[in-house]
Chain A
Amino acid sequence: MLGFYLSLTLKNLLRRKRRTLLTAAAIAVGILYFVAFDSMLSGLNQEAVSNMISFETGHVQLTAPVGTPAPSVEAVLADVRSQADVVGATPRFVVPAMLVAEADELPVSVVAVDPKSDTQVFKQAHYVTEGQWLTDGTMIGAPDTIEEPTATAPISIVLGQRIAGLLGLTVGDSVGIRLNDATAMATATAGAPPAAATVTGIVNTPHPTVNSSQIFVAVGRARELVDAAGVSPSTVVSVSVAPRRTRDPIRIVASIGTIAGWKVESWNDTATFLAIGSGKRTYAMALLGLVMIIATIGVVNSILLSTMERTREIGILMSIGMTRSQIVTLFVMEGGGLGLLGGLLGAVMSVATNYYLVEVGIDIQSILGDIDLDIGYPIATAMRGAWNWPMLIVAVLFGLAVSLIASYLPARRAAGLDPVACLRRL
């Protein structure tokens, strides 16, 4: 019986090749549209998360309570490094500052890094385009000097590329750094001379925030700055951790357990601020709905036309003793066939398109031209898609379901026809 229905369905679909193909194409385009959109969103998300991990937080971040003394931080570091799944850990702290270059001033974040261990966790060092990344020493050309020769020697700094561009700085240039301490801000007594610094490197990372607002300073020299400015008590130190395998963070968080006053988070926890995951996905779902309305209209139209063209045939089938539910089945299966074909076509088109989106991506810069893209969101200039197989399957199944449901109404209308009226039609 089912075999008979299937072959009858296939034959009827083939009888109207053009209409079948057009309707299936509408469904396929709907699926493609959705999958591509979702792919770009997932891609944005993945890149944002990966940038955050590589340049901001590491896989696991431990945040010290305000005013934690350096020895306590060292103790936590040592403890974290002793964990089995940990391959690296490094401390960092960030303080807001003004970068002074001759007459220009630019608000920046001073990121204090430990040159010895920072590269175990973070990737800034791989994106140095000019000069070099911070070394233990602070003097140019003396990377291995452990002790600062004099407290007045200029501080070595590495700049984000956009800062360098804005201020017209290159390696070797002298600049000043003035930390924004709370009291100085309030009383506008920023009169103290800025600390002398020398640009030793420029980084151009995929993370726009790094490029546009961060300057990197070895942690020892940063401490001096902080102490001099009197912002030390409010400085928040964090320890970032690189796990052995990327799926270890949660295990690491668990094995570290609780450290009094410290906050221990994996990137999963931190990434929740990337609201693109939920908010924009709702938008994608709305898009899916819209696109499927078009597919629904296509299927309803196609099946309705079929039932109208085949009115006499319906009468004949009824005279042979087909029941109403069998007539409904006949046309719903035709709708299902359209959905299946559309889904298949859509899957093929989606995979092909997504391959391009993942491998090549869309170059935002060529679309936006010279407009600076700093949306405060950690993505670079090319938008890449991402593979999201469950979504593809969902989209195809959704297309199939929509087709079945959409064909039900015209099928029921056909089944409710009066057999005598059908037979009067030729």
Chain B
Amino acid sequence: MHLVEAVGVTKDYAHGKMALPALRGISLELSSGEFAALAGPSGSGKTTLLNLIGCLDSPTSGKLTVAGTDVQTSSPTTLARLRRERLGFVFQTYNLVPVLTAYENVELPLVLLGRKRDASTRAAVMSILSEVGLEGLETRLPSDLSGGQQQRVAIARALVKQPALVLADEPTANLDSDNARAILDLMSHLNSVKGVTFLFSTHDQLVMEYARRIVSLRDGKIVNDERR
């Protein structure tokens, strides 16, 4: 069984009375341990597909299964639990809760999972923070961190609960190439060493160099799916 299975998934957005198709029949399988990129020009449907796989939205038609759960027929509460327990998210910018420190932002998913704020939780948070290279910055607020550091916090927050899948929507689009490279190195490292499954979207050539699978979208359709 695949981690993600999409069969003929479509998504229409209501635009006044018209239904604008953003995805037109996506069929895709994603397995554990993959490091895959969704590539395509602006408006091709990358974010829409990531949101569907991330259970933040439901398909208009077709069948989408994420970690064994049918996204279309599940209640909002079930989907929230799935996100809480199995999925991690990294967005392009403004990922963090602004009043919480780097440490507290990373701790948040564990709190939501009902973990006590004890020594073992603290150890887990500190170790993931050091893994993304943020030792010493735990008590900083997001506004006191650089864009690259903020993305590291977001990655740490996505990883701290050891999710089945991390979805990253253009995680490096707001970073300069050095910082982008560092973030990609980190994600790639986490994938190969810890087996974390990543699906990220990009239209950046640099990012695609890192990907071990590239799914190309155009006008809401998959036009190419290549593994390297």
On A, residues with C-beta under 8 Å from B are: 1, 3-4, 8, 11-12, 14-15, 312-313, 316-324, 326, 418-420, 423, 426
With an 8 A cutoff between CB atoms, is B76 at the interface? yes
Q: Is the CB of B114 within 8 A of A1?
A: yes
1/0 contact string of B95-112 vs chain A (CB within 8 Å) = 111111000000111011
Give A323 to B81 CA distance when docked, in angstroms.
8
Q: Which residues of B contact A11 (CB under 8 A)?
A: 99-100
Instruction: Render B42-83 as a binary contact track against A, CB cut-off 8 A, 1 for contact.
Output: 000000000100101100000000000000000011001111
- B84: A residues at CB distance < 8 A: 320-322
Q: CB within 8 A of B99: which of A8, A321, A323, A420?
A: A8
The 6 closest A-B pairs by CB, nearest first: A321-B84, A11-B99, A321-B83, A319-B89, A419-B56, A323-B80
Q: Are B112 and A419 in contact (CB under 8 A)?
A: no
Check B97 against A323 for contact (C-beta < 8 Å).
no
Q: For the complex, give the distance between the alpha carbons of A313 and B89 in Å.
A: 13
Is residue B85 within 8 Å, beta carbon to beta carbon, of the partner chain? yes
Q: For the complex, would chain A's binding face be called helix, strand, loop or mixed by DSSP majority?
A: helix
* 20 interchain pairs, CB-CB under 8 A: A1-B111, A4-B108, A4-B111, A4-B117, A14-B99, A316-B89, A316-B97, A317-B97, A319-B56, A319-B91, A320-B89, A320-B157, A321-B82, A321-B87, A321-B112, A324-B80, A419-B57, A423-B51, A423-B91, A426-B93
Contact of B81 among A318, A321, A418 (CB under 8 A): A321
Contact flag A321-B85 (CB < 8 Å), given A4-B117, A423-B91: yes
B157 CB, nearest partner CB in chain A, Å: 7
> Chain A residues with Cβ under 8 A from B109's Cβ?
320-321
Assess the A321–B94 pair: CB atoms within 8 A.
no
Considering only CB atoms, which chain B residue lies closest to A325 in the complex? B77
Shortest distance between the CB of A305 and any CB in chain B (Å) = 16
State in angstroms the CA–CA spacing of A316 and B100 once bound together. Answer: 13
Task: Determine the chain A residues whose CB is within 8 A of the CB of B100 once the complex forms.
Answer: 8, 11
Give CA–CA (A4, B111) in the complex, Å: 8
Q: In whole angstroms, how far apart are the Cα atoms of A326 and B108 in the complex?
A: 13
Take A11-B100, A320-B89 as given contacts and tell me if A426 and B56 are in contact as well, using a CB distance cutoff of 8 Å: no
Of B83, B93, B114, which contacts A319 at CB under 8 A?
B83
Q: Which residues of B contact A1 (CB under 8 A)?
A: 111, 114
